[in-house]
Amino acid sequence: METTITAVYNADGGLLGEAAYVIGHLLGTTSCSLCDITHSPLRRKPEWDAMVATLPFPLRVRHRNEVTPELSAALEGQTLPLVAAEGPEGITWVLTAADLDQCDGSPAAFCEALLAALAKTKEN
């Protein structure tokens, strides 16, 4: 089994999930630093797409209601958003919500943090 990297939004997918997030975001009751990294107020950021294309591995981005059953179970009690690695040794957290907050909406900062965290994981 190959390791899969999945970034999980602090939002549900689908029309109702998207609408609930937009309304909550506008009212200041909901936030998702991963959303800020991947999207501008109107659409997905072109610099996000360009950055993902440079990664030496596939990166999946999923809403919290769109993850695998195994990842969904592991997410219990975790603060979203986050980035997880799913591999033969199980599920590990690569970037936490605090790590994603530090990216300050920048796809380049996300890439740097992700690659550094994965390199550190391989060392251990």
pLDDT digits (tens, 9 = 90+) for 41-63: 788 999 999 999 999 999 999 99
Distance CA 48, CA 122 (A): 25
**pLDDT average, residue stretch 2-30:** 84
The neighbouring-strand residues paired with 5 are: 59, 85
**pLDDT average, residue stretch 63-73:** 94
Question: Could you say which DSSP state residue 44 is in?
Answer: B
> How many Cβ atoms sit within 10 Å of the Cβ of residue 62?
16
Q: 20 pLDDT exceeds 90?
A: no
Scanning the chain, the segments in alpha helix (DSSP H) are: 14-27, 33-38, 46-54, 69-75, 97-102, 107-123
The neighbouring-strand residues paired with 96 are: none
Q: 1 pLDDT exceeds 60?
A: no
Q: Which of 77-81, 115-119, 120-124 has the lowest mean pLDDT?
A: 120-124
Residue 40 — pLDDT band, cuts 50, 70, 90? confident
